Copies of this chain bind each other. A is one copy, B any other.
Amino acid sequence: MGLTAKNPFEDSEELKGEEAQPGASGAGVEVIGLDHVAVAVADLGAALEHYRTVFGLTVETREVVAEEGVEVAVLRLGDVALHLVSPVDDDADLAAFLEEWGPGMHHLGLRVADAGDALNTLDREGYELVDEVTHPGVAGTRVAFVNPHEIDGTIIQIVEAT
C-alpha cells in the first residue's frame, strides 16, 4: 500500500488520516471466491484473437458496461472468468489506466453474497471506496470498486452474482 500504487481513479478521495485506521475492528467482508480476473487491453478484437490462438480460449459473452465506459469480453477458465476489458469512452477510468500503465492485468473480481452489504462494511471500517453504490456489471452482476491504495495497489472489484 502506498502512494506509488496504481490508482486510475482520479476523482477518488485522498487517503484518510491516521485516526481512520481501516479494518481496525477486524470486521471484514466474507469473500465467496474469485469471480473474475480482468485484463486491460487497447484492442479487444486483437486480444481475443490472441487468447484464442495461443490458449484456445473462446469468448462466452461480450458486453458494454455503460457505467464504466468499457466493453468486456468474458473468457471461461473453469469456475473463473477472464475479462478482457477495453474502453469505449475516452473519459473511462480504464482509458486513463491504459495511458498511464499500458495494457496488462487490471483488477480482481471477488465474489460476495451482497455487494451493497460488503460496501457498507468496508465503508464502516474506514476503507476508501471508489464507488459509493453498486452498478451493473457483466452478466447481470452488481459490482463496485474499492480504492487500490487500500489493498496494496491491487484494484479490487466486489461482485454480487444475481
Chain A residues with a Cβ under 8 A of chain B: 1-2, 4-6, 22-23, 26, 28-34, 37, 39-42, 46-47, 50-57, 77-80, 82, 84, 101-108, 110, 122, 125, 127, 148, 150-155
Contacts and interface: CB of A to CB of B under 8 A. Distances in A.
A4 B100 CA distance: 10
A72 to B, nearest CB: 15
Query: Copy number of this protein in the oligomer?
Result: 2
A55 B79 contact: no
A50 B104 contact: no
A57 B151 CA distance: 13
Contacts of A30: 55-56
Nearest to A3: B102
Contacts of A54: 22-23, 28-29, 122, 125, 127, 150-151
Nearest to A99: B4
A54 B52 CA distance: 36
A4 B102 contact: yes
Contact of A105 (B84, B110, B154): B154
